[in-house]
Amino acid sequence: MHAADRTGPEQSNQRLLALLVSLVTLTAFAGLFVLRSLDDNRLTSWQWAFGSADVVWVFPALAVGIVLAYAVSRISVPVRWLAPVLFVSSFMAAALLWGAPEVIVDTARYFVQAKYLELYGVGFFLREWGGEITTWTDLPLVPFLHGLVFTLFGEARIAVQVFTTFLFSGTVVVTWLIGRTLWDDTVGGVAGALLLAMPYLLTQPALMLVDVPAMFFLTLAVFTTIKAVRDGDARFLVAAPAAITLAMLSKYSVWLMLSVIPVIVLVHFDRDWQSVLKRAAVIGLATILLAGAVGLMKFDVVAAQLKLLWSYQWPGLARWEESHVSTFLFQVHPFVTAAALCSVAVALARRDSRYAIVAWMLLLVVALGVKRARYILITLPMLALMAGYALREIADGRMRRFVVSCAVVSALVTAVFGFLPLLKGMSAANLMAAGERLDAMEVDRVEVFTLPQERSIVNPAVLVPILDLYTGKRIVYRDGALTPPAPRTIATSPLRFTWEFATPSYYAAGRSEPGDAIAVIASHADQALPDRIGTRIAGMRLSGAFAVPDRIFRFKTFVRVYHPP
């Protein structure tokens, strides 16, 4: 009788709390929508993603999602199933965004490097990386892996998307492992799930970029180092230097974040500092040998890249920035950011030195004033762990799961109903549509012509590899000696690489044939064709004109495809 009396008020309180969380979820979204002018993200700003008409459909979707989240919160996943559930659910969530086009021209660099490996093999790639294979400020690991994917599964964008999404889901699982190792399954499970509460992050596995793989290798390096330092297990003493080296070979910005390694060592001094120091020495020496061996093979290339990073990329951070308000409130769900901030007070109250490991990277982001979402992306697993550390304080397991589920649902609604239509509405989608049309044509090759960009300083030649990514047809292209802008015009531009990017030789191989299809990439739908192109398409039938307008960016991509007679 007394137990029943207690249960009634508890259930009533739980329903009231659930109602409150639901209202806060809806209010948070409404508040972000009203204040969307504060979002200065350069790719998925709420200003562009949500117009007054769009939000009419979003709120009902969010309301339905909250109801589903409440139903899901009743399910307590057994620990033994936690990793598979996190992996599969994160993979499915990211796959919802695979329809987005390649909206960042950096894709061209990574595709070209990967294709060199596919066409000429691993030996050529390793020998010519930094030589015939133009590298800009790219490190070799991710293009190398992309090239292996092409070699094994064919040169198809979907293969790269599956691979990148696999690494994204792997990051979710490794984040859980870090939380479980430092604290418990609750912190780890919540942190892993909260990586799905970041709408900007959900858009990235669809793109052929290095950011998600770099995030995976950095997170893996942190986990394996923690295990090696804590336990001294021989397997992790081998795995940690390998993971750190892989992380170093993925992206230069990871190097700064790997300063967390000494923090991991210092935090564990209270266990057995002599053993910890010996393990750290083994990890450090092995990493120096591994990374050093790779670095020495390409010392001149790496030295030149570091010089460019110091003179161009580092000063550029101040010019290419996005506000932390944008990144941590609009591009990451506010529940995650609020919980992460609260976690600081919880850790200080408990004097928990382990917290320094997960807080270190975000501290660097704030201290160094890093304000570009793409550069912050690799630290997001640590932000999720900070939030998970705070949300563990919610004693009611179902209510904790409901809060996390509401954040995830809200992020999915934002990404699917806001960001995905925005990305599909950019003119970059025209290349994807043109690639699909070319694949449907009964031709073996397509000759590509590029017209100058009239309102942007982008070198249009960089668009050819992106078109190649979308089609299985062989591409023939000659850049036509496009005239670059004045050096001082592009010296500080984030698009400078497009003019220093060498068109790969494999596009210039072969002559034009009467049976080739023709694709013309222009900067607007009515751009006049030079005489040489007009002569080339004489007698050919227009097979498709792809002109999705882009009302946001000056850089626009329109494509006309011609079928041979």
Q: Which structure tokens are listed for 197?
A: 């509460």
Residue 277 has pLDDT above 80, yes or no: yes
pLDDT exceeds 80 at position 9 = no
Position with higher pLDDT, 385 vs 492: 385
Structure confidence at residue 2 as a pLDDT band (50, 70, 90): very low
Cα–Cα distance measured from residue 261 to residue 50, given in angstroms and rounded to the nearest whole number: 41
Tokens 């807080």 label which residue?
Answer: 359
In residues, how long is the chain? 565
Parallel, antiparallel, or unpaired: how do β-strands 558-563 and 541-546 relate? antiparallel
DSSP state string for 186-205: HHHHHHHHHGGG-HHHHHST
Q: How confident is the model at residue 317 (pLDDT cuts 50, 70, 90)?
A: low
The pLDDT assigned to 491 comes to 73
Query: Which of 134-143, 316-325, 404-413 has the highest average model confidence (pLDDT)?
Result: 404-413
Phi, psi of 156 (to 5 degrees): -130, 135
| ∠ Cα 395 396 400 (to 5°) | 95
Q: Is the pLDDT of residue 109 over 50?
A: yes
Residue 351: is its pLDDT beyond 90? yes
Residue type (1 letter), 37: S
The ranges assigned to domains in the chain are 59-102+156-424, 429-563
Please compute the mean of the pLDDT values over residues 34-51 and round it to a whole number.
92
C-alpha to C-alpha distance for 174 and 197, rounded to whole angstroms: 17
Q: How high does pLDDT run on average in the chain?
A: 91
* Interval 542-556: pLDDT, tens: 999 998 888 888 888
Q: Is the pLDDT of residue 339 over 60?
A: yes
pTM comes to 0.94
- Give the per-residue pLDDT at 7: 61
Flag whether pLDDT at 121 surpasses 50: yes
- Would you give the end-to-end CA distance of the chain in angstroms? 87
Tens digits of residue pLDDT in 43-54? 999 999 997 656
State the average pLDDT over residues 171-189.
97
CA angle in degrees (0–180, nearest 5) for 372-332-318: 15
Task: Say how far apart CA 376 and CA 237 lie, in whole Å.
Answer: 28
Residue with tokens 């009743």: 74
pLDDT of 483 above 80: no
Q: How confident is the model at residue 484 (pLDDT cuts 50, 70, 90)?
A: confident
pLDDT at residue 4, rounded to an integer: 45
Mean pLDDT of 128-133: 91
pLDDT at 318 > cutoff 70: no
From CA 346, how far away is CA 389, in angstroms rounded?
8
pLDDT bucket at 3, cuts 50 / 70 / 90: very low
Does the pLDDT value for residue 369 go beyond 60? yes
CA angle 326, 111, 550 (to 5 degrees): 45
Q: Residue 14: what pLDDT?
A: 80
Sign of CA dihedral 412, 108, 155, 449: positive
Q: Is the pLDDT of residue 332 over 90?
A: yes
Mean pLDDT (whole number) for 255-280:
93
Q: Quick one: how far is CA 275 from the chain centroid? A: 37
pLDDT on residue 554: 83
Residue 234: pLDDT band with limits 50, 70, 90: very high
